Amino acid sequence: MKEINMTALEQLFQAKIEKDIKIEPKDWMPEAYRKTLIRQISQHAHSEIIGMLPEGNWITRAPNLRRKAVLLAKVQDEAGHGQYLYSAMETLGESRDKSMADLISGKAKYSSIFNYPTLSWADIGAVGWLVDGAAIMNQVALCRTSYGPYARAMVRICKEESFHQRQGFEIMCTLMKGSKEQREMAQDAMNRFWWPSLMMFGPSDADSTHSQQSIDWKVKRYTNDELRQSFINASVPQAELIGLTIPDKDLKWNEAKGGYDFGPIDWEEFRQVISGNGPCNAERIAARKQADDNGQWVREAASAFAEKRSAKKAS
């Protein structure tokens, strides 16, 4: 049994976890807990940052000013969410610059969903409704995660994201009330984003390497499969209400389990996308690097301005 070798500090730590007492930055924590959190929070932060790109693609082409203002606000939120998460990560002693460098070098991972292209305006609807919907499902659960700064960032993010999913669903509703072409466009977006959205919850519990330990530490409060099931149960009636078809011939309500049964997920596709071979991996990293390079002179100017101002104050 593993408890036998537990040190006093570890026992104290685990006791706090059992009692749902949050772990705060200066508290003692096992190195593996710290590492797990750094990995998870940084990947989460990177996903927010990269997540701006597929939607940013449509800001200049939004169909009207209202949609444009909304999309702009949403993308700004994603930038903010990335910043909250990098801050939470820093409380664990990880450097933000190093983490961002890992993203640009391709060393760090982020959510596989953002490696799919946004080909039509309907994709912006599908991303808001399904991708943000899946993210919210995951993030609401994380509001109760055991690490204080991560939980607090999640609370704030969830509050802000509640409009993200609604605006996406509103786009889908509008298209489904439109012309035949518009309805087809919405269905096409649904067909392309449904399965990748289900993959966002990560590998099946049986194949997930980090799951059990993360559950024991209450870093994660629900398993990947539990969250995926909740997301499907919530999304199917929404799709049906507006006349969209879920692209899964095996999808069927299962009265006994009180949820939908669904067809097999193509995990080979997931593996390919997560290991760099998705449709847009290279493009996303290149865009992030370009943004970083183009921002270099701004950061330099800000530093120079700060030095000048400080010298003036001193004199």
Partner 1 sequence: MSTKEWPLWEVFIRSKQGLSHKHVGSLHAPDAEMAVSNARDLYTRRSEGISIWVVESSQVFANDPADSDPLFEPSQTKIYRHPTFYEVPDGIEHM
Residue 68 as a binder of partner 1 (CB under 8 A): the answer is no
Which residue among 50, 153, 172, 244 contacts partner 1 (CB under 8 A)? 153
Which residue among 13, 33, 84, 114 contacts partner 1 (CB under 8 A)? 84
Q: How many CB atoms lie within 10 A of CB 6?
A: 14
Between 119 and 143, name the residue whose CB sits nearer to partner 1.
143
Which residue among 7, 21, 69, 305 contacts partner 1 (CB under 8 A)? 305
Between 162 and 212, name the residue whose CB sits nearer to partner 1.
162
CB of 288 to partner 1, least distance (A): 18
CB of 43 to partner 1, least distance (A): 19
CB of 87 to partner 1, least distance (A): 5
The 85-114 site mask, x for binding partner 1 (CB under 8 A), equals --x--x----xxx-----------------
Between 21 and 234, name the residue whose CB sits nearer to partner 1.
21
CB of 123 to partner 1, least distance (A): 25
Where do contacts with partner 1 occur on this chain (CB under 8 A)? 24, 26-28, 73, 76-77, 80, 83-84, 87, 90, 95-97, 152-153, 156, 160, 300, 302-307, 309-310
